[in-house]
Chains A and B, each alone.
Chain A
């Protein structure tokens, strides 16, 4: 089974600064999707950004961008101009190519934003 590893249980960032959250994964597949999800305290999980493995270009969504290194099996999330509302648990997730039915999540990184 695929595994997703988030080695940073907690991170903190000063408001308006930039922070990078790490994620590595283990797979023998060549086609898959990768996701970052955000789970604010006592609120539901929402998608931050997704990346298709066949795309070499790194995904970006406003202040959020990824650094996808397929050979290294690394998928980090960069949050620029951090805001207080960015404080949450962040989960990295993996899904196999279109025929895959299962998602694999990491253990999460708790991000604190310091005013």
Chain B
């Protein structure tokens, strides 16, 4: 068990560029979550997958945000036409599902939009 990994760990981009983040969950976990965390705040839920199905995406911040989990393993979060307000830490978590709904978090990707 190597834990949840996220790449890159840091990303600096210019406003208007597209960025993509990757999350590799713990291998036997079928649930995967994306969160955004801004300074001084708790994680804010964005979206959730069960295997390859995206079961909840209403909390994605705008239509510039999209996520995929094509084979039910790793996931990507893409932000198109980045804005300075997108600067934040993006966290990924995975869980084995019910009843043991404990989430295991990755180290996050810190995004800075200039």
Contacts and interface: CB of A to CB of B under 8 A. Distances in A.
Interface of A: 4, 33, 35, 37, 43-47, 50, 91, 93, 95, 98, 101-108
Interface residues of B, number: 24
B48 A101 contact: yes
B59 A102 contact: yes
A101 B42 contact: no
Nearest to A45: B105
B55 to A, nearest CB: 6
Interface string B62-97: 000000000000000000000000000001010000
Contacts of A107: 40-42
A4 B41 CA distance: 12
Nearest to B97: A98
Please name the 7 residue pairs, one residue from A and one from B, whose CB atoms are nearest each other, closest first: A105-B42, A45-B105, A101-B56, A98-B98, A44-B107, A105-B43, A101-B48
A41 B85 CA distance: 23
Contacts of A37: 105
A79 B65 CA distance: 39
Given A98-B98, A101-B48, A103-B33, A44 B42 contact: no
Contact of B42 (A33, A46, A91, A102): A91
B105 A46 contact: yes
Contacts of A4: 42
Nearest to A97: B98
Nearest to B50: A101
B40 A102 contact: no
Given A102-B45, A107-B40, A47 B102 contact: yes
